[in-house]
Amino acid sequence: MIFNDAGLKLIREFEGCALKSYQDQAGIWTCGWGTTGKDIGPDTQWTQEEADERLDAHIQEVCKEVLALLVNQNLSANQFSALVCFTYNVGCGNLKQSTLLHCINTYHIDDAANEFEKWDKCAGVVNAGLVRRRQAERDLFLASHQRQ
């Protein structure tokens, strides 16, 4: 399965790129293209090149994590890319426990598409940005594309 340019475009669009760290809506220190982790704090600052390198590395990591969880290996590039974009945002642990993954792994693709929209909250509150993101991920997931 291939992570495609449409998935990359979604991540870049919804994460945005901040070269100086900030606290996201959940209070988590974030830098670059939505990157979080123990090495990111209030004084973290990156160059554009560092942010782009971290994005690429994080996407590769998420792709591997998603592939390891998939029983249904017959996803299109768009479906896989939408799932990677989703996981980039919510984390692999959340994907692993999700009904979304269960639906994909039991070949209920239409049901899986409807699960994206349920992940629209930040700290228990519906977030307009997440509503838009989940709709975009769902749209990509449902976009017809040749199976890869």
Question: pTM for the whole thing?
Answer: 0.92
Residue 129, domain CATH: 1.10.530.40
The pLDDT of residue 135 is above 60: yes
Residue 120 lies in a domain: yes
Q: What is the pLDDT of residues 27-83, one digit of tens each?
A: 999 999 999 999 999 999 999 999 999 999 999 999 999 999 999 778 999 999 999
Q: Which domain range does residue 10 map to?
A: 5-142
Residue 147 lies in a domain: no
Residue 148 lies in a domain: no
Please tell me which residue in 15, 50, 65, 117 is annotated as part of the active site: 15
* Helix, coil or strand: residue 99: helix
**Count of the separate structural domains present in the chain:** 1
Residue 81 lies in a domain: yes
For the residues of 96-137, what is the DSSP string, one character each?
Answer: HT-HHHHHHHTT-HHHHHHHGGG--EETTEE-HHHHHHHHHH
- The reply to whether 65 belongs to the active site is no
Q: What is the dihedral of CA 115, 131, 66, 11, to 10 degrees?
A: 160
